[in-house]
A and B are shown apart, each in its own frame.
Chain A
Amino acid sequence: MATPNPDEIEDDAARGAGTVRARLVRTLSRPRTALGVTMGPGTVWIAGLLVAPLVFMLAVSFTTTNLTDYNIIWEPTLARFRELLGGSVDAGLLDGGSVVLLEVGSFQLRATAFEKAILLSYAIATVTTLLCLALAFPLAYLLARRSGPLVKATIFLMLLPFFTMYLVRAYSWVLMFGSKGVINSALGAVGVGPLEVFNYGVPATIVGLTHAYYPYMLLTLYASMDGLDFSLVEAARDLGASRIDVIRDQIIPLTMPGIVGGSLFVFVPSVGAFITPQILGQGKVQMVGILIERWVYESRLSLASAGSMFVVVSIVAAMVLAFRYVELDELGGA
């Protein structure tokens, strides 16, 4: 690859070689040119393929899509958001109208299908995040404190499943769950009978998401604990702090960047999850990603954009939180 390497640049410039390469190297050594060459392409890419589409989607969410020729009518309107939150105003929502969300006695809390999907998505993402945190914390602690070949082997075995394709892992849970799945047929053989919990649905989706995003949590927690000075913990213990004190006053504050970072990396993708609820919910788990995908499929672009904004909100919140507690680049331990 012809990518000039700054290390070599400096070396060669010092040697003063007079080749074409050296001249190229000298040009590239000027900070301004170097900055342009190194950052330019990436900046164009991020601006054009990440920021622009999201801004564009924000704009489209305030428009109307003509449902006969699928063109976007560029007149600002709040109608899509009203449709999403108030039920189907002009038959925009397939599952329009409201459904009963909660019924206590004669009290009924009603919500539109979309509101229900949003609540469900955020609830599932919250549970998934907490599960990942609870499962990753002890392991990250163990990995950070111990070393040796056994730990190396453990890390390898822990990591291997994560590198398998997302879809393959989700599919392996398709086999496990279901009324005739591995779990339920095993239970049936023992005589416990098929249990509804192990059918496709919300529990299966949560398990699938936890399995899918666990590595992000483990990675960020491990990265923040790896740099932790455990002699502090021992000192606190020697000075009479209880285990709970140490965890609350030392370990948790010191690993806060990892906790916040890991939670973001699990929560945000879970809110907008599509594949997992689709194949592990088998139509029973209407998360927001599924609705959005369906609207795009039906070319309801404005509605899909407006719906997406409810997930983008979580991304923005995540970024604010990240800046508040931790530099985002610290999250990866870089």
Chain B
Amino acid sequence: MATDTDTDTEPDVADVAGSRLDHRLVDRLLRGSLYTVAALIMLFLWVPLLIMIVLSFADPATTLAGVEELTLDNYQLAVSDENMWSALRGSLAIATASATIATVLGVLASFALTRFGYRFLNVFRTFGILPMIIPGVILGVGLRIYFREVFAREWLGLVALLESPTGFVPVVLAHSVYGLPFVLLVVTARLYTFDESLESFEDFIRALFLTKFSTPVVTQWMFQQIENLNAPKLNPVATMIVAIIAVALAVAMNVGNVTGYVAGTVDDEE
């Protein structure tokens, strides 16, 4: 109560009263501009994707200004591309294999990371999260040279598996390394804390994890099409990817307590 009277007596000084009015106005202005900034960022994030989605139904498929009609022709063109389908099949196999490896390794390591206090574990944690920031080109080039020079020698007998630097096994191995940080972050967060306020953060990581493994999907095919600026084929495929990911994200955020089950923190409660 004492503090209340304190603040109440302050406005007696005209100067302070004036600044207090200002204060409220400034407060409102600041809050307003904060929301405006948030809205602008939302636009920045969404506008290109929305335009892409609209263009996927448009003919011609490159600019909004010249759209003559809305059609499903682009979709027909895209799904009839046999190369796209074979790229999709190959990528799904790579994603499945690498996600499985990363999940097993990451979940195992997370137990030790949260339960033991050895110094070595901190080093492991640092290196385990490192792939998140190493540029793809750098580790990609490193692994490629490494596989070629180290494993392509006959002494390990792995020639058949690793002979092509861009073959199935090397690509799966590379992607498993890239997925590891996300598994570590999700599972250790789960094991460290039961704080529910972290839920949205976990959702974030979980979904990020999901995307990470969807990344190899049709990447190579898309890259080729982008280089040729093949908009009619790309727009529908990219739109479908956005749609699939939106559904997967919603599932991951609502139903997806998968990591919780794997980490054994959920079945205790249920």
B108/A42 in contact, CB under 8 A = yes
- Tell which of B44, B63, B197 touches A185, judged by Cβ atoms closer than 8 Å: B63
Q: At the interface, is chain B mostly helix, strand, loop or mixed?
A: helix
- Indicate whether A312 reaches chain B with its CB closer than 8 angstroms: yes
- Indicate whether A37 reaches chain B with its CB closer than 8 angstroms: yes
- Tell which of B125, B180, B208 touches A163, judged by Cβ atoms closer than 8 Å: B208
Contact with A along B74-95 (1 / 0, CB 8 A): 0000000000000000000000
> Which A residues are CB-close (under 8 A) to B211?
162-165
- Tell which of B30, B62, B126, B142 touches A54, judged by Cβ atoms closer than 8 Å: B142
- Indicate whether A97 reaches chain B with its CB closer than 8 angstroms: no
B126/A292 in contact, CB under 8 A = no
> Which A residues are CB-close (under 8 A) to B234?
171
B143/A182 in contact, CB under 8 A = no
- Indicate whether B8 reaches chain A with its CB closer than 8 angstroms: no
B185/A334 in contact, CB under 8 A = yes
Number of interface residues of A (CB under 8 A): 103
> Which B residues are CB-close (under 8 A) to A100?
none
B200/A155 in contact, CB under 8 A = yes
Assembled-state Cα–Cα distance A333/B200 (Å): 12
Assembled-state Cα–Cα distance A164/B215 (Å): 9
Taking CB atoms and an 8 Å cut-off, the chain B residues in 107-161 that contact chain A are 107-109, 111-112, 115-116, 118, 121-122, 124-139, 141-146, 149-150
Given the contacts A163-B211, A168-B241, A332 and B134 also touching, CB distance less than 8 Å: no
Given the contacts A155-B200, A172-B238, A41 and B245 also touching, CB distance less than 8 Å: no
A169/B201 in contact, CB under 8 A = no
Assembled-state Cα–Cα distance A37/B109 (Å): 9
> Which A residues are CB-close (under 8 A) to B66?
185
A308/B142 in contact, CB under 8 A = yes
Taking CB atoms and an 8 Å cut-off, the chain B residues in 175-197 that contact chain A are 176-177, 180, 184-185, 188-189, 192, 197
Contact with B along A271-304 (1 / 0, CB 8 A): 1111100010000000001001100100001001
- Indicate whether A193 reaches chain B with its CB closer than 8 angstroms: no
A56/B149 in contact, CB under 8 A = yes
Binds B, one of A80-88, A105-113, A215-223: A215-223
Within the complex, the shortest CB–CB distance from B122 to chain A, in Å, comes to: 8
A164/B197 in contact, CB under 8 A = no
> Which B residues are CB-close (under 8 A) to A173?
48
A167/B223 in contact, CB under 8 A = yes
- Indicate whether B2 reaches chain A with its CB closer than 8 angstroms: no
Assembled-state Cα–Cα distance A185/B223 (Å): 24
Assembled-state Cα–Cα distance A126/B269 (Å): 46
B105/A168 in contact, CB under 8 A = no
- Indicate whether B104 reaches chain A with its CB closer than 8 angstroms: yes
- Indicate whether A331 reaches chain B with its CB closer than 8 angstroms: yes
Candidate in B104, B106, B109, B219 with the most chain A CB atoms within 10 angstroms: B109
B141/A172 in contact, CB under 8 A = no
**What interface size band does chain B fall in?**
35 or more
- Indicate whether A180 reaches chain B with its CB closer than 8 angstroms: yes
Given the contacts A54-B142, A308-B138, A46 and B180 also touching, CB distance less than 8 Å: yes
A334/B180 in contact, CB under 8 A = no
A165/B215 in contact, CB under 8 A = yes
> Which A residues are CB-close (under 8 A) to B62?
175, 180-181
> Which B residues are CB-close (under 8 A) to A41?
104-105, 108-109
Within the complex, the shortest CB–CB distance from B169 to chain A, in Å, comes to: 12
- Indicate whether A89 reaches chain B with its CB closer than 8 angstroms: no
B65/A188 in contact, CB under 8 A = yes
7 A–B contact pairs at CB < 8 A?
A53-B142, A142-B34, A167-B219, A176-B51, A180-B62, A180-B63, A332-B129
Binding site for B on A (CB under 8 A): 1, 3, 5-8, 31, 34-35, 37-39, 41-43, 45-46, 49-54, 56-57, 60, 72, 135, 138-139, 141-142, 152, 154-176, 180-182, 185-186, 188-189, 211, 214-215, 219, 222-223, 226, 243, 264-265, 268-269, 271-275, 279, 289, 292-293, 296, 301, 304-305, 308, 311-312, 315, 318-319, 322-323, 327-329, 331-334
Binding site for A on B (CB under 8 A): 26, 30, 34-35, 37-38, 41-42, 44-49, 51-52, 55, 62-66, 101, 104-109, 111-112, 115-116, 118, 121-122, 124-139, 141-146, 149-150, 173-174, 176-177, 180, 184-185, 188-189, 192, 197-198, 200-201, 204-205, 207-208, 210-211, 214-215, 217, 219, 222-223, 226-227, 229, 231, 234-235, 238, 241-242, 245-246, 248-249, 253, 262-265, 268
The 3 closest A-B CB pairs, nearest first, are: A272-B135, A172-B48, A53-B142
